[in-house]
Structure 1
Amino acid sequence: MIESLISIVFCLSSALTVLILLLPSQYEPEQAKSSRSNDLKEKLKTSVQILVLGDIGRSPRMQYHALSIAKQGGEVVIIGYKESDPHPDITSHPNISIVLLRPHPALLQTSNKLLFTIYGPLKVLFQVICLWKCLAYSTKPSKWLLVQNPPSIPVLAIASLTCFLRHTKLVIDWHNFGYSILALKLGQNHPLVKLSTWYEKMFCKSASAHFCVTDAMQSVLKQDFDLQAPVLPLHDRPASHFSPILDSSTRTEFLETLDETQDVRSSLKKGTLRVLVSSTSWTADEDFSVLIDALVQYSELATTTHNHLPEVLAIITGKGPQKEMYLEQIVALEKSGKLQKVIIRTAWMTVQNYARLLASSSLGVSLHTSSSGVDLPMKVVDMFGAGLPVVGWDRFKAWPELVTEGVNGLGFGSSEELAEHLLELFGDNGRLETLRLGAQKESSRRWDDEWNPIAGSLFGLT
């Protein structure tokens, strides 16, 4: 027994030694300090790798990190998948480069719980190989590695090991908890969820610092995760391309250019249409049936007892696994005549057009329910940046950190409550305009104002 254990330890230590010897040159912070060559300034640049185990184009917060670092003179390498186009400023900035990860085979993607327990480990193994190759061999060592979490598996383990071997400082940017999202699919008591909880709490301890999106999340990380490194709340704020359009005629002109408004342009010109917009990833943590049910109730009342109410065009942007399922429901409701005063359209837009859509709409809707209770939807931040008032699911702890009830938005906890808000706001009582003024005031709070004193200071850039 002892001999076998010794053999296993010997093999593991030998494998680790080989990995270390095969690694490219490590990051050596003192090398730049001691250099007296003409390119001293170039060597002293702060270098940051940003790892997104997801679509870079649909990771706005990580793109904002990259732009802020680059604007302050740092060198940035963004690592992730390309399923949609990143922000144009990302691809055009001389201080930012992109390294793409190889996507996992489509056959390893499934929503079936039984198959997930089989395909899941295979998908993780594939990601381990790709991440290790990228972080340890395909990219140069950097001073900092900023990791988006979740997903945590296998990112945190691979990031921790490569940072240790390459003298890189690891920073985790907490958007939510990986185990709480996994619990939506498998259930809170599933063994894989418990394993994921242990894993996340174990490997996050290797980070030199942590960012998180809410004060509530900071509290959980400090108390439940027992972190000794700094945990810094860094609230989401809108980027500069989200800005209000104050002139109503300009808003109408833009809406008329969209394919989604083709059937209702006459109502737009008359002012008898309200445009409702929502952005979704069509996943389990956003129950889209809440909005559909509320629109059905609105349509019924608007065609019977409240026939003074305007038509509603609901434009839903985004991509995701449950999209087709909901589209089938919408088509069935249209055929049955339950959406007489409501039109629902889905869209996928460029960054610029999405920002203009928000600024031109009447009301924004957030269906984000928060698997952990302490994260917040980025879509609401973007809506406020565009001066758009919001109604959103508010049954989680961190909601008041984002929305001031009755000032820039309203919360709801059921389709009935949402329908009541729609009836009130789309009625002619001035409440919607009051909320719009509150949202426009909120739009003055910008990403760089939040980022510079917190992240900029940590990275030594401000």
Structure 2
Amino acid sequence: MAAVSVSLALALAAGAVVLAAMLWRRRALAAGGAGRVCVVVLGDLGRSPRMQYHALSLARHGRDVALLGYLQSRPHGDVLRSGRIRLVPVSDLQALRVGPKLFQYVLKVIVQAIQLLYTMLKLEQPSYILLQNPPGLPGIAVAWAACLFWRSKLIIDWHNYGFTLMSLTHGRNHPLVQVAKWYEKLCGRLSDHNLCVTNALKEDLWVNCNIRAVTLYDKPAAYFKETPLELQHHLFLKLAKDHEPFRAGITESVSWSGQSSAFTEVDEKSEEVTKARGRPALLISSTSWTEDEDFSVLLKALEGYEHAISEGAKLPSLVCVITGKGPLKDYYNGLIHQLHFKHIQICTPWLEAEDYPLLLGSADLGVCLHRSSSGLDLPMKVVDMFGCCLPVCAIHFECLHELVKHEENGLVFKDSKELTEQLKMLFLGFPSLEGKLQSFRENLRASKQPCWDESWDQTVLPLLGHRE
């Protein structure tokens, strides 16, 4: 009964959206929207790197872009400096605290649909709307309605399924999840073109949703690369103002910011390596602190690593940096504060967009705990790490092999015990320029994959046709 009620409410909301669009004042449509694209993210623009890359690629090809979403975190400077990209803020509506939770959610969706449609129809008419999914509720229906009004084309960029993300909180059989699944599959067919992030997702969209998509793998932006020693040192001086692990490191006579792999570019390599012996290893992970990442796995692995050092293992101490914002950050910070390590320091900063690539390019190892809710998407954080030639230990899920090649560019683990053993094996003899950690880094340096711009030009640009 609840599912029927929600379906009816959503259907009425969708009908109201379409009716509002069709009754809106008419414009001259035949030649309108030439060269303009509306890129829509019903989320934080600053934490939506792929959609920022879309906007930059469109601008590079002479398109005027309205980048629409929540302005909670600052987008990258390249986006802010572009003369062809205009940020269009949307307010992040909180659920109204009136009535049952189901009623609150439905009411929020309806209000959000009206707000989003109003914001979109105030823009200059675009020739395309490029929408990120998830979240697709109510974004897909609203974008489709706006396209009806403008006679524009709708492109959906499928990062995952929204209903599988909802199932992490509510369970797969919850009425809301079932309605979201129905909505996503039905409304997803309204698009003119579809992009997706993996071949596995492309296959699933076709088999289960009758939606044809083109795979556009995530690629790192050009600024994700290994960080020179001088920039590393300046970065750690900056971070040391607020974070003790960096403050302790830079007070040494030689900064520990020199990663072992970077010494290959230093003339007096052997002298630098000798000076760096005993420095902590820099371990980094990034997260949105949501249910699809269980950071207790990493914390338990670090406990095992700490125990190994206490038992006499010749391993370096660790500085573990976990970056990001999200709803579970306070919960995990509470767990971290209960730990009393002697050889491991953990900090959880939020980095500026320009500092994050520099930190990745300075690290010795990355750790990814992303478990895909659908098993069909890949973690962008690993893409960025690979752009910086940073080896990765990543937790296993179904299509991870499309990105992480076990024993080639990193390692795949299934639980905290396996991660502990991998950390011990990789850091044994650190910071020697020999061993698997260095081998993985060399493999990443040697693998010349198409960059984002090349992939985008080959995959997305043909969908847009000629400039009107």
- Shorter-normalised TM range: 0.7 to 0.9
Quote the Cα distance in structure 1 between the aligned partners of 2:18 and 2:330.
46
Corresponding position: 1:182 with 2:166: yes
Change (3 A) 1:402 1:168: same
For residues 363 and 19 of structure 1, what CA distance do their matches in structure 2 show? 51
Following superposition, the deviation at residue 263 of structure 1 comes to: 2.2
Inter-partner Cα distance in structure 2 for 1:140 and 1:24: 13
> CA distance change for structure 1 residues 231 and 444 in 2, over 3 Å: closer, same or farther?
closer
TM-score (normalizing by structure 1): 0.87
The reply to whether residue 236 of structure 1 matches residue 218 of structure 2 is: yes
Residue by residue over 1:187-236, the C-alpha shift from the partner in whole angstroms, topping out at 9 and shown as x without a partner, is 01111111111000000111001000000000000000012xx4100000
Give secondary structure in 1 for the equivalent of 2:166.
helix
Q: Distance in 2 between matches of 1:15 and 1:248?
A: 55
Instruction: For 1:232 and 1:451, locate their aligned partners in 2 and report how far apart those are by CA, in whole Å.
Output: 11
1:287 CA displacement: 0.6
Q: Find the counterpart in structure 1 of residue 413 from structure 2.
A: 412
Task: Please list every run of 5 or more consecutive structure 2 residues that lacks an aligned counterpart in the other structure.
Answer: 1-13, 257-274
1:388 corresponds to: 390
Report 1:114-153 matches (<5 A). 116-136=101-121, 138-153=122-137
Give runs of aligned pairs for residues 215-254 of structure 1, distance below 5 A: 215-227=199-211, 230-245=212-227, 251=232, 254=235
Task: Give the one of 210, 220, 236 matched to 2:194.
Answer: 210
Structure-to-structure mapping, 1:29-428, within 5 angstroms: 31=31, 45-105=34-94, 116-136=101-121, 138-227=122-211, 230-245=212-227, 251=232, 254-259=235-240, 260=243, 261-265=246-250, 266=252, 268=256, 270-272=276-278, 273-306=280-313, 308-334=314-340, 339-394=341-396, 396-428=397-429
Contact 2:17–2:113 (Cα < 8 Å) also in 1? no
Task: Indicate how the Cα distance of structure 1 residues 133 and 372 shifts in structure 2: closer, same or farther if over 3 A, else same.
Answer: same
Q: Partner amino acid for 1:294?
A: A
The TM-score normalised by the length of structure 2 is 0.85
**Is 1:446 aligned to residue 447 of structure 2?**
no
Report the Cα offset of residue 98 of structure 1: 1.3
Answer yes or no: is the 8 Å Cα contact 1:52–1:147 preserved in 2: yes
Check conservation: 1:279, 1:379, Cα contact below 8 A: yes
Question: Cα offset for 1:16?
Answer: 6.2
Residue 3 of structure 1 corresponds to: none
Do the aligned partners of 1:26 and 1:141 also contact (CA within 8 Å) in 2?
no
Q: How many matched pairs?
A: 424
Residues 1:257 and 1:95: Cα distance change in structure 2 (over 3 Å)? closer
Counterpart residue type for residue 200 of structure 2: A
Alpha-carbon contact 2:38-2:68 (below 8 Å) kept: yes
CA 1:132/1:439 → structure 2, altered by over 3 Å: closer, same or farther? same
The 3 A distance-change label for structure 1 pair 433 and 52 is same
State the AA in 1 paired with 2:216.
L
CA distance in 1, matches of 2:334, 2:97: 25
Output the CA distance in 2 between the equivalents of 1:419 and 1:263: 25
Cα distance in 2 for partners of 1:74, 1:362 equals 39
Separation in 1 of the partners of 2:339 and 2:423?
19
Report the Cα distance in structure 2 between the residues aligned to 1:413 and 1:94, rounded to whole angstroms.
Answer: 46
Deviates more, 1:172-181 or 1:350-359: 350-359
Please give the alpha-carbon distance, in whole angstroms, between the structure 1 residues aligned to 2:112 and 2:205: 26
For residues 388-440 of structure 1, the C-alpha deviation after alignment (integer angstroms, 9 at most, x for no partner) is 1111112x221111111111111111011111110011112611111111222
Q: Is the 8 A contact 1:78 1:98 kept in 2?
A: yes
CA deviation profile, 1:277-302 (whole Å, cap 9, x unmatched): 11100000011111111011100111
SS in 1 for 2:354: helix
Distance, in Å, in 1 between the alignment partners of 2:383 and 2:16 is 50
Give the drift of 1:351: 1.7
Deviation by residue 1:324-373 (Cα, 9 ceiling, x = unmatched): 11111111112xxxx22111001111122110100000001111000000
* Cα displacement string for residues 225-283 of structure 1 (whole angstroms, at most 9, x for unaligned residues): 012xx4100000001111123x5676456435422311233382643210001110000
Indicate the larger mover: 93-102 or 354-363. 93-102
For the residue of structure 2 that corresponds to 1:333, the secondary structure is coil
Tell me the distance in 1 between the aligned counterparts of 2:45 and 2:175.
31
In structure 2, what residue type is equivalent to 1:326?
Y
Question: CA RMSD for the aligned pairs?
Answer: 2.4
1:456 to 447, 453, 461: 461
